[in-house]
Structure 1
Amino acid sequence: MSETIREEQEMLELRNLSPFACPAARSQGRRVPLEDCPTRTCFQRDIDRIVHSKAFRRLKHKTQVFLEPEGDHYRTRMTHTIEVARIARTIARSLRLNEDLTEAAAYGHDLGHTPFGHAGERVLDEIMPGGFRHNEQSLRVVDCLEQDGEGLNLTYEVRRGILCHTGPDQAETLEGRILRLADKIAYINHDIDDAIRGKIIYPMDIPLSVSQVLGFTHSERINTLTVDIIRSSAGKNEILQSPACARAMHELREFMFEFVYRNPVAKGEEGKAQDMLRRLFEYYAADPDKLPPEFQTIRIREGVERAVCDYISGMTDKYAVEQFGEAFIPKAWGVK
């Protein structure tokens, strides 16, 4: 009997991947077993499930750093996700790890992010009992919220990569650990690019001690950090950075927090956005019958606050503004 395309791919992985990789054939599987696809490995199937999800499509209308920037070239949560996936795949390929697993986790890692970026995350973290963390919400999206509450039923390894891309826990697979660093490389560097475009900082503001290690341009910094991980991790059962690059990236991140992420020019509208989300939360919590039908089941099973949090965290920036207008602005005063 001839092998399926999927089986051929699984055999190629077992033959060609590093002994430290996670081949699809050795996945711990899904929470609900599925019949194998004849053409796609389980991780390739997860990529498709995520990319075709509603939560993934909404990423294009969610803030990365700048709220409603003027210009077409500023990053959104979608473009950030794509950049992370590309960096992560480059590292995985060079280390002979599983590119499909890496890509799937990268595409899913920010599905739970709030409208208005980390400003929205901070508001929900204040309001929700037990707090709110976007990595945990991303896992909740793929487990519980997509597909009308059925979830995407992803593999264990992809789910762990999504959950562990930030926070104290570490993914068991090297592919999942790549994501953690690829996310930082992407957001630090593309946020610099956007901040320069927005005239928040200028190239000469970047500390010379950082540039001497990582390079003086956007592409040089990403290349240096990516190649450094590949060289530092080659032949090892761990994903590592050299001490010099780790120090330089930490210094660059500190610089970004001081001059961009807390900059009153870049973040001047965040307070308004946060007030909007607070009022929306209070509005739906006080009258949960106004929640859409798909959140009423969550309300019954897990409580009003959980349902409201799921609804608001899934909103795009524009939709949150529209819902705020519907709730609080008289229609006669609405902007046409």
Structure 2
Amino acid sequence: MDLAPYACDPAQSRGRLFAEESSTFRSPFQRDRDRIIHSSAFRRLKHKTQVFVEHEGDYFRTRLTHSIEVAQVARTIAGALGLNSELTEAVALAHDLGHTPFGHTGEEVLDALMAPHGGFDHNAQAIRIVTTLERHYADFDGLNLTWETLEGIAKHNGPVSDPLPYGLADYNARHDLELSTHAGAEAQVAALADDIAYNNHDLMDGLRAGLFSDAEVAALPIVGPAYAAVDRLWPGLDTKRRRHEALRRVFGVMVCDVIDTSRARLAGAAPKDAQAVRLLGHPVIAFSPAVMREIDEIRAFLFKHMYRAPSVMLEREQVSVVIADLFPLYMQDPGLLPEDWQGAIERAEGTTALARIVADYIAGMTDRFALQEHARLVGCA
């Protein structure tokens, strides 16, 4: 592939913590992507939710479908900017690996429970998964990903000034990810692709769930002009097709804005290589200020009408109880954890080490399994 000078070149990769022979047919970043796709944590994303609990309906997004959508958007943007699309895709596919069951609600509850033991953060947990918790390979724990992919997972949202002691800080002490700098441009693309994907699919899922109407979202910036364009082209189009055609145009507006804005920023900064991007002190991949203001308005609408909708809030309360009940139960009786976790428990020294193991176990649960375990151990769904 033809790469821009500021792209991450797989031939110049900083390598893996544990040295491995090169693949005959795959670049290092392709190999990373494939290991992520074949990981247990990636498969579990199928039954972890974005907003709605997994059993609510077959059409709502899960962490898996979201990650695939993010990867698709990210590859498009990366290709247009001359970046390494394989690295971009690897980071995009891995960015949600550390999420708990029940979306951000589960993370908030687990973070509160873990407050005396260093807290919980899904981004740090993703690093913990790909460097420690995935245990399939003979020569190492984790997936032994390249430095560039790990950096992208750790820093796709920007520099990390205060890494949690587990996950990020622990790994960084062995394999310096330069947490104080921005990530390469590929990881920055993955971060904005995440924003584009969830804004669009949350609009679609909220409409499907009946939390708001087409008329309400048509009053929003970007969305309104998209609906108007569809109505001009296809007057009287049925609701399902009208929504799809409108929201795919919303996608297009955001993607084109990122590409145009980022091209201009890259041209202005003129970084000579990938490391120069990291050392600029600011992101090079961005929305324009005008579109960013419009996206903020869409986010505010979604926060009010979807994330804080009465039905969603009730569900949040119900699933919070599940994690709040399971955590102390496992702490009091670690023998309730599966047999293959007992060796780690026996080696744990102190309450904090035990709490981290319990957090790892709960964070890895799917929505369905967490509900089943709660019903089995506590006696209520």
Same fold, judged at TM 0.5 (above): yes
Does residue 166 of structure 1 match 2:157?
yes
**Which residue in 1 is equivalent to 2:295?**
249
User: Identity percentage over the alignment?
Assistant: 44
What CA distance in whole angstroms lies between the structure 2 residues aligned with 1:83 and 1:293? 36
> Secondary structure at the residue paired with 1:269?
helix
Give the 5 Å matches for 1:136-215.
Answer: 136-147=124-135, 150-166=141-157, 169=160, 171-206=182-217, 208=219, 210-211=221-222, 215=226
1:1-336 equivalent positions in 2, closer than 5 A: 13=1, 16-68=2-54, 70-128=56-114, 129-147=117-135, 150-166=141-157, 169=160, 171-206=182-217, 208=219, 210-211=221-222, 215-216=226-227, 217-234=246-263, 236=266, 237=271, 238-299=284-345, 300-301=347-348, 303-329=353-379
Residue type of the partner of 2:148?
A: E
Deviation at 1:297, TM superposition (A): 4.2
The Cα of 1:324 is off from its aligned counterpart by 1.2
Paired residues in the alignment total 317
Q: Which residue of the partner structure matches residue 4 of structure 1? A: none
Q: Which residue of 2 aligns with 1:8?
A: none
Using a 3 Å threshold, how does the CA distance of structure 1 residues 260 and 82 change in structure 2: closer, same or farther? same
Equivalent residue for 1:9?
A: none
263-272 vs 79-88, which moves further: 263-272
The DSSP-based 3-state class of the residue aligned with 1:19 is coil
Instruction: State the shift of 1:295 in Å.
Output: 2.9
Q: Give the C-alpha shift of residue 212 in structure 1.
A: 6.6
Q: Is the 8 A contact 1:214 1:220 kept in 2?
A: no
Task: Note closer, same or farther for the CA distance 1:164–1:32 as it changes in structure 2 (3 Å cut).
Answer: same
The alpha-carbon distance between structure 1 residues 171 and 153, as it changes in their structure 2 partners (threshold 3 A), is farther
Give unpaired runs (5+ residues) of structure 2.
161-180, 228-245, 272-283
The answer to which structure, 1 or 2, has the higher relative contact order (CA under 8 A, 6+ apart) is: 2
RMSD after superposition: 2.0
Contact 1:63 1:117 survives alignment (8 Å)? yes
Q: Provide the rounded CA distance (Å) in 2 between the counterparts of 1:205 and 1:79.
A: 26
* Offset of residue 168 of structure 1: 5.1
CA distance in 2, matches of 1:293, 1:151: 20
For structure 1, which segment, 195-204 or 129-138, has the greater mean C-alpha deviation from structure 2 after superposition?
A: 129-138
Per the alignment, residue 5 of structure 1 pairs with none
Q: Which runs of 5+ in 1 are unaligned?
A: 1-12
Structure 2 length as normaliser, TM-score?
0.79
**In the TM superposition, what is the alpha-carbon distance from 1:175 to its structure 2 partner?**
0.1
The range that moved more, 95-104 or 242-251, is: 242-251
C-alpha distance in 2 between matches for 1:29 and 1:153: 9
Residue 312 of structure 2 aligns to a residue whose secondary structure is coil
Checking the alignment, whether the CA contact within 8 Å between 1:214 and 1:248 is kept in structure 2 is no
Aligned equivalents of 1:297 and 1:313: distance in 2? 19
Q: Is the 8 A contact 2:78 2:84 kept in 1?
A: yes
- Worse-matched range after superposition: 65-74 or 173-182: 65-74
For the Cα contact (< 8 Å) 1:232–1:240, is it kept in 2? yes
- Distance in 1, Cα, partners of 2:45 & 2:98: 9
Separation in structure 1 between the aligned mates of residue 76 and residue 344 of structure 2, nearest angstrom: 39
Aligned pair in 2 of structure 1 residues 207, 163: CA closer, same or farther (>3 Å)? farther
